[in-house]
Chain A
């Protein structure tokens, strides 16, 4: 009697663990991989730091003051990493995972375009002298360069295209 109860309990625990594992896999599709290009995947760009992730509940720790706007639009997390271009330009890449493509559009559309150039990248993109912002599906990508030079916009665009490729996988 005791043995059969123990056997039943063990089976129940195993079943629960299996359900949890499957649910976990569903949250993070195996095919997605990292959206951050490795060093030199985009010509001249080196990834100089580890990727940091802030889930929705901790978004304020990264963008306190702006977090509310992203959360209202459906942000689930942001991943961020530092890059360097040919030892000349330092940059940070932020990739926001929003709930849906509409959510990403909501953020991008809420920001004044100013003197942005529209470039063919993702679903919509804006290129500035030191910044590239684009969205692709539910992802909103923001690249900010800390040095302005003639080659900064093209370099950001090259990096952005590699990120867009990875987001498609």
Chain B
């Protein structure tokens, strides 16, 4: 218990202070868990992470907004390149994407627009990803930017597009959910047809946020946006619902990577945008292990809460228990053990 607490404190310190490759060698966590069409999806990251560890990259740019309040498109593209190249340990901006997708893939970019303007996936980030995907041969019409609701997307700046030869952009409300339930554990949900029928690869683009019920909402919780009944999955701090949703076969098999938009983040009052509880982290976080990414992000939120003299989420009665559940023997979605997380921080 003490050892775990100490380990977590060390991790938190390293999150705050700079580049870190965490110490004690951990035993490798189970077999690569996310596979699609025979492609071992963690393989690429495993090649660049320390043995037996999950890699999480945090890339920051203090000048991401220049002197304005909005992020600068060219700096976002540079930041994305730095994050992805660091994650895959490659020199050219196109290389990471070649490890994730192939021409002919239909790629879904699952954004998060629930928080509304101010706390949603940035359009500039999504445009940068579309640019890189097209550079490696993904056709524009084979890219779908999506979330649950087209109006919500429109409100935060994603213009609806269903025209031929263009990047597609619309919500599940346009084509609906599957008729049949997909089930795992306590979850029984109908999945978005964008996930099941229109795409074979998913890139997860969540936000770094506090969450009133779940504690935090980052990579795994963003999958509530692919099911028809997220409102039924909030009891008990969303535990084990978040982990169970991520176990649904279509979610698990199509997920390739998470790129968390932590340009603006929120340490209290989430998931909606409340400027008084938000801060500009000016960062992107990348991982193929959603549990490791969520654990790392949670520590960042705790650090900010401590700065603001707020209780820890545990003391506030809403620790994100679902993160440990996602790492347990039943789920094995990744690791929440800081000794098994290879945390790399890069700055502009």
Contacts and interface: CB of A to CB of B under 8 A. Distances in A.
Interface string A33-76: 00000000000000000000000000011011111110000000
Contacts of A90: 117
A65 B271 contact: yes
- A-side interface size class: 20 to 34
B320 interface: no
A147 B117 CA distance: 11
A7 interface: no
Given A92-B117, A148-B69, A64 B271 contact: yes
A115 B310 CA distance: 13
Contacts of B276: 114-116, 128-131
A60 B148 CA distance: 13
B137 interface: no
Contacts of B269: 111
Which of A63, A65, A69 has the most C-beta atoms of chain B within 10 angstroms of its own C-beta?
Answer: A65
A69 B231 CA distance: 13
Interface in A69-121: 69, 90, 92, 111-112, 114-116
Given A114-B277, A129-B276, A130-B276, A65 B117 contact: no
Contacts of A147: 69
A123 B114 CA distance: 30
Contact of B231 (A67, A112, A114, A145): A67
Given A64-B114, A65-B114, A69-B212, A144 B234 contact: no
Contact of A65 (B213, B274, B277): B213
B268 interface: yes
Contacts of B310: 112
Interface in B267-281: 268-277
B249 interface: no
Interface residues of B, number: 27
B230 A68 contact: no
B226 to A, nearest CB: 13
Contacts of B230: 60, 64
A114 B234 contact: no
B116 interface: yes
A141 to B, nearest CB: 14
Interface in B93-136: 114, 116-118
A92 B224 CA distance: 25
B259 interface: no
Q: Return the 8 tightest CB-CB contacts between A and B, nearest first.
A: A130-B275, A60-B231, A128-B276, A65-B271, A66-B212, A131-B275, A131-B276, A65-B211
Interface of A: 60-61, 63-69, 90, 92, 111-112, 114-116, 128-131, 144-148
Interface of B: 69, 114, 116-118, 149, 211-214, 217, 224, 230-231, 234, 268-277, 308, 310
